[in-house]
Every structure is written in structure tokens, then in C-alpha cells.
Amino acid sequence: MAEARQTQRSATGWLGFEGRGVLVIGAGGLGAASARALAEAGARLTVVDADEARLEALRKDPACAGADVTTLTADLTSSEECERVVTTTARELGGLDVLVHAVGMNDRRPVVDTPDEVWERILTLNLSSAFWIGRAAGRLMREAGHGSMVYFSSVSSLLAHRHHGPYAASKGGLDQLVKVMAREWAADGVTVNAVAPGYTETELTRAYLARPGMREEMTALVPAGRLGQPEDVVGAVLFLASARASYVTGQVLYIDGGRTLV
Ligand SMILES: NC(=O)c1ccc[n+]([C@@H]2O[C@H](COP(=O)([O-])OP(=O)(O)OC[C@H]3O[C@@H](n4cnc5c(N)ncnc54)[C@H](O)[C@@H]3O)[C@@H](O)[C@H]2O)c1
């Protein structure tokens, strides 16, 4: 196992993650895949989620078991808690080089049937937590004179999927927030980018894809002829988070097997 990890590290060595302090927000399908890859690349990680079971699964994952990975349980639906998470993590890591924001939720229903509570819950987690975490991390990174942030947007930021009112609004808003933060912090050596996956098989999409005929219907919309897997996002996350992408900022990279081309 140690040998395998060593081989992976040398393969990703050119990205320069050895010893870097990384905060990963979210231990779901895409956050955990990103965290595993960053751990294998030699980064020192703190991973945050509200669900302790997911954090425990990640700690036990072979990719993280021998690496420098700590976890923090937190509910990211308030400004205060987001500030606390960033401050605590930066103190424990001795600075913050990279932020990956990978929490989000959806609740599919027509706009006319969407109560205020659902709108607010989705906007708070998907967009407000991105703002609160980004603002706190941005202050530290600007002061340090370097840093990179990668957010999880979605094809829903571009396409008008039915029954995605709050989710699409949160992701469209996120894309603009990413661009404004990127512009404001470019001169301080801080980059801010987003990856925008298409339908990817995680807990977020599991129940929806289990509906009769839905998997086939969704797959038919993808020119590549398959749905995404969590590992499909990893290369882009690592690149955008790395020093190799230091002149790339304010971009939204679609990882969707061509879904947004049709
Ligand atoms: N899976 C997809 O098809 C897909 C496609 C495009 C974009 N995305 C985006 O990628 C990101 C990650 O999605 P995923 O597929 O990994 O989802 P997921 O459901 O597997 O993981 C989401 C994680 O967020 C955590 N979480 C929920 N509420 C929280 C809270 N209040 N505080 C802290 N943590 C909380 C959950 O415990 C879970 O671990 C999201 O922003 C999502 O919108 C996913």
C-alpha cells in the first residue's frame, strides 16, 4: 500500500501538493473523491462535513489512512460556523493553500410547488456557504499572497433543467460569485475556479437515477454515452487547485461527457 501511494505521489508530484494545507468542504461522492486524490498527491488535508459517518468512511479509506488527513464535523448553514471552520483549519494546518468547496443539495419540484423553506435551504447550503467559506479563506489567502479555490458548480448553471429552480439559481449565482472573487483577488496571487459536472453517480443523484427509466433517459443526453463517476472530476480539481494553474482564474470547466454541447 505504501508503495502504491508512493507511485501515485510521484505521478502527481509535478502538481506540487506535497505538504500543502488543503481544506475540503464536503465528504460526499465528489468531495471524498477530491480528498482522496489530494491525499494521494501528498497534501495535508482537513475535510469537513455535517455527516460524521461520511467523514469516518473517508478516514478509513486506504487513500487517506496513511496520509495527513483530519476531519471536522460542522453544519455549514451559518456564517459563524463557516468562519469557525476556516479559522480552525488554517490554524491547525499552519495556513491555507487550497480550498475545495463540494457541498450541495437539490430538491426537484416545479417552481410553483417550491415552498420558501426549500428555496432557502438550497440557496443557503449551495450558495451562502460558498460565499461565507470563500470570504473567510480569501482574507487569509490574500494576506499570504497565494492560494487557490475550486468550487463545484453544475451543468444546471447553464441549462434550464425542469424542476431545478433553486438548484439552478444557486449554481448560476455561484458561477458569478466565482468570477467576481477571481477578479478581486487575482492581483493577490489567489485563483478561484469552478468545475461543473454533469450527472454523476453519488448520493445526490442516487434516488433520482433509481426511478424507472431515468438512468437510460439521463444517459441518452450525454454524447459520451455514460453518466459521470466521482473519479471523472478529480483530474480537473487537482489541476485547478495546483500551482500549475496559477494563471487560470474565474473559469467554469464543464465535466459532462459533452452534455452541454447538445
Ligand atoms: N453528483 C452530481 O451529479 C453533481 C453534478 C453537478 C454538481 N454537483 C455538485 O457537486 C457538489 C458535491 O455533490 P456530491 O454529488 O458529492 O453530493 P453528495 O450528496 O454525495 O455530498 C454532499 C455532501 O454535503 C454534505 N452536507 C449536506 N448538508 C450539509 C451541511 N449543512 N453542512 C455540511 N455538510 C453538509 C453531505 O453530508 C454530503 O456528504 C455539490 O455542490 C453538487 O451540487 C454534483
Mutate which of 48, 131, 202 for ligand 1? The one with the most ligand atoms within 8 Å of its CB, which is 202
Is 208 annotated as catalytic?
Answer: no
What is the whole-number distance in angstroms between the Cα of residue 179 and the centre of ligand 1? 21
Band of residue 3 on the pLDDT scale cut at 50, 70, 90: low
- Testing ligand 1's pocket by substitution, the residue of 61, 75, 103, 226 carrying the most ligand atoms inside 8 A of its CB is 103
Q: Which atom of ligand 1 is nearest to the CA of 32?
A: 16
Starting at the edge strand found earlier in the chain, the sheet holding 252-255 runs 69-73, 44-49, 21-25, 98-101, 147-152, 190-197, 252-255
Q: Which domains does the chain have, with CATH numbers?
A: 2-257 (3.40.50.720)
Beta carbons within 10 angstroms of residue 84's beta carbon: 14
The pLDDT value recorded for residue 9 is: 60
Q: Is 154 in the pocket of ligand 1 (CB under 6 A)?
A: yes
75 lines ligand 1 (CB under 6 A): yes
- Note the pLDDT of residue 115: 98
How far away, in angstroms, is 205 Cα from ligand 1 center?
Answer: 10
pLDDT bucket at 51, cuts 50 / 70 / 90: very high
User: What is d(CA 96, CA 130) in angstroms, rounded to the nearest whole number?
Assistant: 16
What's the gap in Å between 104 CA and the centre of ligand 1? Answer: 4
Separation of CA 233 and ligand 1 centre (Å): 13
**Residue range 180-186: mean pLDDT, rounded:** 98
Nearest atom of ligand 1 to the alpha carbon of 197: 6
All three cell numbers of 145:
499572497
Predicted confidence at residue 10, as pLDDT, reads 61
What pLDDT sits at residue 14? Answer: 87
pLDDT in tens, 113-152: 999 999 999 999 999 999 999 999 999 999 999 999 999 9
**Ligand 1 and 199: CB distance under 6 A:** yes
> Which of 197, 172, 169, 177 shows the shortest CA–CA distance to 137?
177
Q: How far apart are CA 79 and CA 129, in angstroms?
A: 7
User: Does pLDDT of 102 surpass 70?
Assistant: yes
Residues paired with 228 in a beta bridge: 200
Q: Are 260 and 229 in contact (CB under 8 A)?
A: no
